[in-house]
Amino acid sequence: MDRRTVLRSLAITVWGMVLLPGCDMDLNKEQSVGLVRSLPLTAQQKKNLEKLVDTFLPKTETLGAADLQIHHFLDKLIANCYPVETQELFMSGMGILEDKAMKAFGESFFDVDQMQRESILMELDNEDDELEKNFYDFVKEQVVNAYTTSEYFLTNFTNYDMVPGGYDGCVTVPEEPFKI
């Protein structure tokens, strides 16, 4: 390579790094970058979402859903992969969850203990109110789906191979090619 080619490549690289919007290192983690959005959740709703996923899959001998940051995943998943109607269902369901906790126990869903959170979720699972039932079924499905597709679950509880088939480095090559 000659000097001109090196300088031109260096200049393109430097200007590309300066001009790309995704390379801004001063962004807050909570801020959405590029096309990835988050739901418009308040700080209290974020805490409630964390406790909600922890209620469905609490920590036992294995890691729970909150330990695997499933609530952050659901925030991004619902905001970016579901239509507005589903997002509105989720947001209204989060409001219903908080209202039920305040009516039943006088505290936020985040502040009540595990047994009280489970009783609130059992109330949501009734067949009487279709909105509550849809919210419960949707969140339960998404939490279980996110947990069972996490790296932790796949590597520790399934027969997961990162590269199926493995690698055999020292294999003799036959003299004649294979015939199909």
For 145-156, how does the pLDDT look when each residue is reduced to its tens digit (9 = 90+)? 999 999 899 888
- Give the pLDDT confidence of 25-36 residue by residue, as tens digits: 444 555 545 667
Q: Is the pLDDT of residue 21 over 60?
A: no
Q: Whole-angstrom Cα distance, residue 90 to residue 39?
A: 10
What H or E segment, with its residue span, contains residue 107? none
Contact 74, 53 (CB under 8 A): yes
pLDDT of residue 24: 47
84 or 20, greater pLDDT: 84
- Give the pLDDT confidence of 75-134 residue by residue, as tens digits: 999 988 889 999 999 999 899 889 988 998 898 888 888 898 888 888 888 778 888 888
112 φ, ψ (degrees, to nearest 5): -80, 160
Positive or negative torsion for Cα 148, 95, 45, 41: positive
Three-state DSSP state, 52: helix
pLDDT of residue 140: 92
- Give the pLDDT confidence of 37-52 residue by residue, as tens digits: 888 888 888 998 999 9
pLDDT of residue 165: 75
Closest residue by Cα to residue 72 from 172, 150, 137, 126: 150
Q: Is the pLDDT of residue 142 over 60?
A: yes
